[in-house]
Chain A
Amino acid sequence: MQNQQEKPTKKLQKCSVLGPVAAIFASANTGSWRLERPEVDFDQCIKCGTCARYCPPDIITIDKTKKECVSFDWNYCKGCGICANECPKKCIKMVPEGSEA
């Protein structure tokens, strides 16, 4: 949902449109709003995918073939913490953005 694209149509032509229509199909980098980021303890993670299902902007990808199976799209993760809240193993914690730990 984040990466809106201009779809190719048959006769594309620049037209003046009256009223409020978006001229640029781009979404803001909402990841820059993030104050805390989720961090997964992969030793505890059972690869259930609950975090991905609850993520409001749907930016969590699960790849069960890897040990580090949860990845985040940092361009759009606002750091809301819902994934950490919903994790059944409580193995996601929110850490201050910019910190090492």
Chain B
Amino acid sequence: MAKKMLDGNGAAAEALRLTRPKVVAVYPITPQSTISETMAEFVDFGKLDAEYIRVESEHSAMSACVAAGLAGVRTTTATASQGLALMNEVLSMASGLRIPMVMPVVNRGLAAPWTLQCEHGDAMNARDTGWMQFYCQNVQEIFDMILMGVKIAEDSRVLLPMMVCFDGFFLSHSMQKLEIPTQEEVDEFIGEYVAKNMYLDTEDPMFCCDLTGPEDFTEMRYQQKVGMDNATVVAAEVMDEFAAKFGRKMTQVESYLTEDADAVLVALGSMNGTIKYVVNKMRAEGKKVGMVKLTQFRPFPAALVREALKDVPVVGVFDRSSCMGNYNGPLWNETAGALTRTNVDLRHFIGGLGGRDVPAVNVERMFNELLEIKAGTRTENTEWIDLKEGAMEIRQVTKYVRD
């Protein structure tokens, strides 16, 4: 076990290298680019024995990975934002063909307005493509989650691809100290890749991805659903196994000081660090607040979320994506589904969009609003928590009036 200083992208690339993929096809896109560059360097410098395919787009990158997965090797790519959107068509091909690959997704908002910075809208846009999604809070979690992700995805009960999501710039470009196991330890943990379900082999021919009529389509979707259901079970096992081997424990749904809490905040990603800091600060002031951090978002661990929140009087769900036209954000929707037929007063917040920071003062404001709702001194919360005043008049230009 060595200690290194790496940023999130460096940790992702290092973890991917240690999983020994044989085919790597990454198209660079901010803020993911250093993953593609580092992977290319690994191959060029002989640190990774893999074919690096220089593709012309993310659509091609995912296509190459699907083909490589069918050809029977471990494969990987990485992307963000527009790149993930361009991949979208092939994402469901990967999941439908049961290719167990792990892909880092460096969360960045979708244009327009053009942004290079963090929000979860890109991954939320792909949340129903049949991929698992796990969100990371810090650089060590990115590294650990990729290793665990490979083991979860390749489990014969699962056989589904996984996105390991982390916040653009906040994590991808933040240096942190992390512990890195040796190649032998990783090999022992994840094992060698074996294509066991569907594969392309001239010695054992199979006709993959044939046209499927209504007589079988439902059953194949059901098979994917079963894989997703199993993933929740397998993820718990793998997280335990990882903790026993490497001494670091991640949980699918982490409850922090929720048992006696009057108000709890639910969130994904790096801002959980800030939330935990604020919980500690407010607890010291005697305010009973807690947090629930979701690492696993797809499959949505509904039973675990329900167990964690069902007795909390007021719960705020903080979405770092806007989910236009939806009734509240995606994380709220899922949480509300998990809390059906409970008495939880479930509130919604949106913030941190397009790289806007989520400072402790905003988290504290959300908690205070939830506490006021609990105390009965407030009825509505401020949904767009960090919206500037005069939102409709932020830009003014001189132009002809066209009525």
Contacts and interface: CB of A to CB of B under 8 A. Distances in A.
Interface in A17-55: 17-22, 25
Contacts of A25: 207
Contact of B220 (A4, A7, A19, A22): A19
Interface residues of B, number: 20
A8 to B, nearest CB: 10
A9 B206 CA distance: 12
Q: Is the interface of B mostly helix, strand, loop or mixed?
A: loop
A20 B95 CA distance: 11
A20 B209 contact: yes
B203 interface: yes
Nearest to B203: A9
Contact of A19 (B198, B203, B205): B198
A20 B204 contact: no
B159 interface: yes
A48 B152 CA distance: 60
B286 to A, nearest CB: 54
A33 to B, nearest CB: 16
Nearest to B205: A7
Nearest to B223: A18
B285 interface: no
Contacts of B208: 19-22
Contacts of A19: 96-98, 197-198, 208, 220, 223-224
Q: Is the interface of A mostly helix, strand, loop or mixed?
A: loop
Interface residues of A, number: 11
Contact of B198 (A4, A7, A18): A18
A20 B92 CA distance: 13
Contacts of B299: none
Contact of A20 (B203, B205, B220, B227): B220
Contact of A17 (B197, B205, B212, B227): B197
B207 A17 contact: no
Contacts of B210: 20-22
A17 B96 CA distance: 12
B195 to A, nearest CB: 11
Contacts of B227: 18
B129 to A, nearest CB: 15
A18 B98 contact: yes
A20 B97 contact: yes
B207 to A, nearest CB: 4
Contact of A9 (B98, B159, B204, B216): B204
A42 B220 CA distance: 53
Contacts of B205: 6-7
Contacts of B224: 19
B207 A22 contact: yes
A22 B198 CA distance: 11
Nearest to A25: B207
Contacts of B203: 7, 9
Interface in B28-84: none
A38 B281 CA distance: 86
The 3 closest A-B pairs by CB, nearest first: A22-B207, A22-B210, A18-B223
27 contacts: A6-B205, A7-B203, A7-B205, A9-B203, A9-B204, A17-B197, A17-B198, A17-B206, A18-B159, A18-B220, A18-B223, A18-B227, A19-B97, A19-B98, A19-B197, A19-B198, A19-B224, A20-B96, A20-B208, A20-B210, A20-B212, A20-B220, A21-B206, A21-B208, A21-B209, A21-B210, A22-B207
Interface of B: 96-98, 159, 197-198, 203-210, 212, 216, 220, 223-224, 227
Given A21-B208, A25-B207, 16 more contacts: A4-B207, A7-B204, A17-B197, A18-B198, A18-B223, A19-B96, A19-B208, A19-B220, A19-B223, A20-B96, A20-B209, A20-B220, A21-B207, A21-B210, A22-B207, A22-B208
